[in-house]
Chain A
Amino acid sequence: MKWFRKGSKQEDLSLYNLIQHFTKSGDFIHFHNPQSPKPYWISYYGSLVDAEIVHRDILPYLQDPNISGYEDFQSAVPIEKVEITSDLETIQKKMLAGSVLIQFSENDNKGALVRAEMNKAREVSIPEEEFSVVGPKESFVESLTTNLNLIRKRLPIPQLAIREFTVGTLSQTRVAVLFIEEIANEENINTVLQRIGDLKYHQILDSSYIAQMISDNENSPFPQLIDTERPDRVAGVLAEGSIVILVDGSPHALIGPTTLVKFFAALEDYFINWQLASALRVIRLFSVSFSILVTPVYVAVLTYHYELIPRDLMATLVSSRSLIPLPPFLEAVILELTIELLREAGARLPTKVGQTIGIVGGIVIGTASVEAGLTSNVLLIIVALAALASFTTPVYKMGNSIRLIRFPFLLLAELWGLIGIALAFAFLMGHLLRLTSFGRPYMEPIYPPRLEDLKDAFIRLPFKMQPKRPIELQSPDTIMFSGKKAQEMNDIDE
């Protein structure tokens, strides 16, 4: 909008000049039809407007001999809102959003704006990052309108509130904040609205921009907002009292406030029975701690604490390491970096080539380096398992954080052995305990300890045992449903 302001100083502000300026752009269409009963000028951005609408719903009415002015046109056109305005700023904004400007005289200072924007969005498809075997298979797309539709369909209640913002001086991105009135905590809502309102950035390409900019601690490696591509998850957390942020052009919704354990809860946990879901969650949490700790413990034990190795394992470890020229730390770092390299290469390459990389890296390099005596096969198993275990996190960004925090652990394990690991763990705990998500504690329900919230943290108890909303979210309406059993009905036969 800079040019406009700059131009407004020099040139006189007229619609004619504005349109003249627009015509410099190659995709701007501005033509005059003098043959029609009432001659008209039509101007729009060809790249933003759906030609079908122009041909079907606008042009036939302009040819109509009954139309003599803007008001006639406004009532004749079958499009919900035709705006007649002379406000240059509105005209400019609307035209850049895909409206068509109709004028009956070239020098007229006003015109009729007709919405005819082209909606080219990807089809709603199957979620890829958060795929679940059972349950709905819809995922968000890049269009905010479609995404809102997906959510509204799941929560057809008037209390579902949507607050819209426009963020980004250049990108003019629409950002929507969703919550359910009387369920979401007022304080949380205000925090989110205020933080988004205060955002100053030129371009928002994805919701992760917002996530990084409104996080409580921007320097933490841990994500403080869950990002999800599943509308069903969004509907679920909205009903619990969370706040959801949707960004136009991004297929990921942001959920907050959240806690650490929620990052390890997959949506599928709610689709299968609670015993199985609890077991899977425990496995997931175990595999995450395994992924972080196993290589550092290997390094610490082999470098400092040979006493801890069981006698029967000693032969395996010593024989696998006896020909390795590197100390355990270097051996582990090199292998970890190799795995990271494979992962990164696999992520950057197209799917089909990526698979080949996996095979080449995993099998060929792995086997060859063991045979060449560069790495021990025990460590190869450990590192590969740790990499595999880090993929069990349902939220992709959390998986990345877990990849990262393994390295400080490794370094401290090399320096002080198990004491170093304990130290790193203490640092990690200190950091996690200090983290907040929209001002709510990140380590809840462990600290502050809340028994009620533990019902859906490390394990998931049956639905009927959780009639209350999570304390974490401080919802004013704590009861989700009445925990009492439905009155037992007699069988029809009796």
Chain B
Amino acid sequence: MKKKIIFFLIISIIVAYFGRVEKEILDELEIATSAGFDYKGDQKVEATAVFPRINPDKTITNETLSTTANLSKEALREINQKSHKPIENGKLEVAVYNEKLARHGIEDFIDTFHRDPSIGSRLILAVVDGSSKKILEKSYGEFDTGTYLQKLLEHNMAHGIIPTSNFHLFLSAFYARGMDPILPLLELNGNNINIKGLALFKGPKMVMELTEEKLFTFKSLYEELRLAGVKLKTKENNETEYFSIQAINSKKKFKITNVYTDPEINIHLKVTGSIREYSGENVDATTIKKAEKLLKKKISKESAEMIKRFQKKRIDPLGLGEQVRSRTRHWDEKKWEEQYKNAKINVKVEVIITEIGVVDGLS
């Protein structure tokens, strides 16, 4: 018994002493919520870290530190030298890159995040038109910029028209065969952050930009819409009419024929929504027909145009190659890339207006 106790004590002392883990006490850290990277000439990057300074009276002030370096981890070390508490990146919510850097390729930055165990895969990535430092240094309301950006993007992804995107989805699109990644594109507009559109990547490099107006169509093709909204405009008898269609849900189905020879992709899109506002006189059965027609026309026109542009740039943000691959045995990537250029891609849209509000005006 005595031997056992002594043995146990010795073991526990050894383990406790040599098995120590580095302590990271919460209130002795600066916890970065956002990081921004700006292109500064050849192989040089200006990194900006945002961390909320939580004051004892529970208010939050937005603090930023930036430095220019060659590598992002080196930048972190240099920023640490400027800070009075160690900066930790374990709660990074948003990482932004400016457009110049994105066009140059963000492979290195993705890779270091990928290998860092303290970076979560729900980190949101975004591209900024202009300087990311400027966007991050500004404070918006009661939050620090990282939190603000994350909240802004997240609710727009859940119920808005921004396609869902985070680090995990970016990586899967990046490494998947037959798919190219996308990221939301932001811009600073006065005192607000605006969603400018979508940055489309070919591998690690941004090659194309999609404007905000096209996002509705893009998102319905890319994934499923959930309670989104869209504005329709029509000119009839020299009178412009506006529709506001809300609560739009969409579903898509792929049908691919001739997968082995010359794939023809048919996307069947089903969109349901309700009319919330109409600038014309009454909402009645004809209005519904009109709205359905308009929305159908808008989506089919925009999607055809969009896909043509994608084919021209040889990018595949919609993951059509992935759809083909999943239906093909011994799929050949090179062969597909050749085929994709001229592949026939049809979008068939079906629009149903399910309701017009609480009061049923139809008679």
By a beta-carbon cutoff of 8 Å, the part of chain A in contact with chain B is 301-307, 309, 311, 314-319, 321-324, 327-328, 415-417, 419
Contact = CB atoms under 8 A, between A and B. Distances in A.
Contact of B26 (A306, A311, A323, A416): A306
Given A302-B25, A304-B23, A323-B56, 6 more contacts: A311-B33, A311-B93, A314-B26, A316-B58, A321-B27, A328-B26
23 contacts: A304-B23, A306-B24, A306-B26, A306-B90, A306-B91, A307-B120, A309-B26, A311-B91, A311-B93, A311-B147, A314-B52, A315-B52, A315-B54, A315-B60, A317-B26, A318-B26, A318-B54, A319-B55, A319-B57, A321-B27, A322-B54, A416-B19, A419-B21
Given A416-B19, A416-B21, A318 B27 contact: yes
Interface in B238-289: none
Nearest to A301: B26
B123 to A, nearest CB: 12
A316 B23 CA distance: 21
Interface string B43-73: 0000000001011111010000000000000
Given A306-B91, A315-B60, A415 B24 contact: no
Give the most central of A301, A303, A307, A321: most B CB within 10 Å: A307
Contacts of B52: 314-315
B24 A304 contact: yes
A319 B24 contact: no
B31 A314 contact: yes
Closest 7 CB pairs of A and B: A307-B90, A318-B54, A321-B27, A319-B58, A302-B26, A306-B26, A315-B54
A301 B27 CA distance: 12
B88 interface: yes
Interface in B166-212: none
Contact of A306 (B19, B29, B54, B55): B29
A318 B57 CA distance: 10
B272 to A, nearest CB: 34
B118 interface: yes
B362 interface: no
Nearest to A417: B21
A328 B21 CA distance: 15
Contacts of B29: 306
Interface string B5-41: 0000000000010011101111101010100000000
Contact of A307 (B33, B55, B91): B91
Nearest to A324: B27
Contacts of B27: 302, 317-318, 321-322, 324
A302 B33 CA distance: 17
Contacts of A316: 58
Contacts of A322: 27, 54-56
B336 to A, nearest CB: 40
Contacts of B147: 311
A300 to B, nearest CB: 10
A226 to B, nearest CB: 29
Nearest to A322: B56
Given A311-B93, A311-B147, A416-B19, A303 B24 contact: yes
Nearest to B88: A306
A301 B26 CA distance: 8
Contacts of B88: 306
Contacts of B93: 311
Which residue, B27, B54, B57, B147, has most C-beta atoms of chain A within 10 A? B27
B90 A319 contact: no
A306 B30 CA distance: 11
B152 to A, nearest CB: 14
Contacts of B20: 415
A309 B88 CA distance: 14
Nearest to B54: A318
A327 B25 contact: yes
A331 to B, nearest CB: 11
A303 B118 contact: no
A443 B217 CA distance: 59
B58 A315 contact: yes
Nearest to A310: B91
Interface string B74-101: 0000000000000010110100000000
Nearest to A420: B21
A322 B147 CA distance: 21
A304 B26 CA distance: 8
Given A306-B31, A311-B91, A415-B16, A319 B56 contact: yes
A323 B56 CA distance: 8
B188 to A, nearest CB: 23
Contacts of A318: 26-27, 54
B23 A303 contact: yes
Contacts of A416: 19, 21
Contacts of A302: 25-27
B223 to A, nearest CB: 25
B192 to A, nearest CB: 21
Residue with the greatest number of chain B CB neighbours at <10 A, chosen from A319, A327, A416: A319
Nearest to A318: B54
Contacts of A321: 26-27
A64 B29 CA distance: 98
A315 B19 CA distance: 31
Contacts of A309: 26, 91
B142 to A, nearest CB: 10
A314 B23 CA distance: 18
Nearest to B119: A307
Nearest to B57: A319
Contacts of A303: 23-26
A101 B19 CA distance: 75
A108 B23 CA distance: 87
Given A306-B31, A307-B90, A314 B54 contact: yes
